[in-house]
C-alpha cells in the first residue's frame, strides 16, 4: 500500500511513523526524527531527511541500527524469521534458494564479517547479482572499521531509497530503476530484423540462468525492455540471438549447419540505475555490437 507525499505531510507523528517506520529496518525512530522536518516538497527530500537522521545519530545508535539487519542467507533468513522487506529483498537475488555449499560459504563470510566489525554485512541486494554480492562481501572484509561503517551506511541509502519509492508517491521520486534493451539490425537486408528469438541469461555461480525469453518485433526491438522498472543487478550476462532461424525464414541461402546459428553476446552491468542498450548488427556471416543509448 502506498501513501501520497501530500498526505504524509499532513500526518501527525504517530501516523507518520506508522506509515514509514518499516523503511529503515526495525528503526521507527528514523521516521519519527524526520517528521519534524515536514513539509517535504519531494520524495527525495523526505529520503534525505531520513538518511540525515541516521547519519547524525551517535555512533552507538548507528551500530545498534546496523545490528538490527539480518545476516545475508543466514539461519534466520532461511527460517523466515526476518522482516517481510528483508525476506523479499534476499529472495530477489536468489539467496533463499542456495545450495548447501553456497549456504556454508555465506555462513563463513557472515561469521568473519561479524567478528571483525561487530554488525552484519549490509548490502542492497536488489542492485547486485549473487556473484557480485559475494565479491563485495570479500572485498569489504578488507576495510578498516571507519571505511566499512561508511560503506554500510551507503548501502542503507540504496536499500531505503528503494523501500521509500515503493511506499510513497509524489513529486521528486528518486531514480531507482535501470533499463536493458536491444535492437537487431539485418545489414544483409538493410532493415530491422523481425522475429529473431532472443534469450537473456545471468551468469552466476558458474551457471547460466535464463531470465528472459522473447523475440524482436517489426522494428527489430523487443516490445518491452529486457529488464525495466527495477535496478539492473550488477553482474555478468549473456544475450543469445537465434540468427540461423532468422536467415532461414527469410529464404537466405545458408550452409547446413549455418555459419552463424545462435550468436552469444557476453557483457557486464556495473550501473544498476543506468541504461544499457546492446544492439546487434548482423549478416549470415558476421555480426558486431556496441553499447548504445
- What is the model's pLDDT at position 95? 81
Q: Please count the other Cβ atoms lying within 10 Å of the Cβ belonging to residue 229.
A: 10
For the segment 63-67, the average pLDDT, to the nearest whole number, is 97
Q: 94: pLDDT confidence band, cut at 50, 70 and 90?
A: confident
Kindly report, residue by residue over 206-262, the tens digit of the pLDDT. Answer: 899 999 999 999 999 999 999 999 999 999 999 999 999 999 999 998 899 999 999
pLDDT tens-place string over residues 3-51: 999 999 999 999 999 999 999 999 999 999 999 999 999 999 999 999 9
Smallest Cα–Cα separation from 129: which of 25, 224, 238, 263? Answer: 238
The three-class DSSP label of residue 53 is helix
46 CB neighbour count, 10 Å cutoff = 26
Q: How far apart are CA 35 and CA 56, in angstroms?
A: 15
The residues spanned by each domain of the chain are: 3-169, 178-289
Q: Point out the least confidently predicted range of 161-170, 253-262, 280-289.
A: 253-262
Asked whether 287 and 260 are in contact (CB, 8 A), the reply is: yes
The confidence band for 81, taking pLDDT boundaries of 50, 70 and 90, is low
Provide the whole-model pTM: 0.91
* List of residues 6+ apart from 57 with CB closer than 8 A: 65
How far apart, in whole angstroms, are the C-alpha atoms of residue 69 and residue 82?
9
Segment holding 183, helix H or strand E: none
Q: How far apart are CA 193 and CA 44, in angstroms?
A: 41
- Between 81 and 165, where is the model more confident? 165
CATH of domain 178-289: 2.60.40.180
Between 259 and 81, the higher pLDDT residue: 259
The arithmetic mean of pLDDT across residues 63-90, rounded, is 81
Query: What is 3-169's CATH superfamily?
Result: Oxo-4-hydroxy-4-carboxy-5-ureidoimidazoline decarboxylase (1.10.3330.10)
Is residue 138 within 8 A of residue 109, CB to CB? The reply is yes
pLDDT (mean) for 265-270 = 98
Query: In angstroms, rounded to a whole number, what is the distance separating the alpha carbons of residues 134 and 140?
Result: 10
Tell me the average pLDDT of the chain: 95
Residue 76's pLDDT is what?
A: 57
Whole-number Å distance between alpha carbons of 132 and 136: 6
Amino acid at each position: 500500500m502506498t501513501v501520497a507525499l501530500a498526505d504524509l505531510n499532513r500526518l501527525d507523528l504517530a501516523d507518520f511513523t506508522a506509515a514509514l517506520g518499516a523503511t529503515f529496518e526495525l528503526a521507527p525512530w528514523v521516521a519519527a526524527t524526520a517528521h519534524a522536518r515536514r513539509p517535504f516538497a519531494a520524495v527525495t527530500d523526505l529520503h534525505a531527511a531520513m538518511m540525515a537522521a541516521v547519519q547524525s545519530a551517535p555512533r552507538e545508535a548507528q551500530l545498534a541500527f546496523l545490528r538490527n539487519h539480518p545476516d545475508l542467507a543466514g539461519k534466520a533468513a532461511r527460517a523466515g524469521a526476518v522482516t517481510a522487506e528483508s525476506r523479499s529483498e534476499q529472495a530477489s537475488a536468489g539467496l533463499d534458494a542456495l545450495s548447501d555449499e553456497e549456504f556454508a560459504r555465506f555462513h563463513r563470510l557472515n561469521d568473519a564479517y561479524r567478528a571483525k566489525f561487530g554488525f552484519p554485512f549490509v548490502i542492497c541486494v536488489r542492485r547486485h547479482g549473487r556473484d557480485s554480492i559475494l565479491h563485495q562481501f570479500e572485498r569489504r572484509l578488507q576495510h578498516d572499521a571507519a571505511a566499512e561503517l561508511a560503506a554500510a551506511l551507503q548501502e542503507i541509502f540504496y536499500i531505503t531509497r528503494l523501500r521509500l519509492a515503493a511506499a510513497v508517491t509524489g513529486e521528486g521520486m528518486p531514480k531507482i530503476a535501470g533499463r536493458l534493451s536491444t535492437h537487431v539490425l539485418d545489414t544483409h537486408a538493410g532493415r530491422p530484423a523481425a522475429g529473431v528469438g532472443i534469450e537473456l541469461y545471468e551468469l552466476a555461480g558458474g551457471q547460466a540462468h535464463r531470465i528472459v525469453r522473447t523475440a524482436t518485433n517489426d522494428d527489430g526491438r523487443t516490445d518491452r525492455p529486457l529488464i525495466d522498472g527495477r535496478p539492473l543487478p550488477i553482474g555478468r550476462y549473456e544475450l543469445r540471438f537465434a540468427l540461423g532461424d532468422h536467415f532461414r525464414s527469410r529464404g537466405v541461402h545458408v550452409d547446413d549447419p549455418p555459419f552463424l546459428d545462435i550468436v552469444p553476446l557476453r557483457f557486464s552491468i556495473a550501473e544498476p540505475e543506468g541504461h544499457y542498450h546492446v544492439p546487434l548488427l548482423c549478416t549470415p556471416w558476421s555480426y558486431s555490437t556496441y553499447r548504445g543509448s
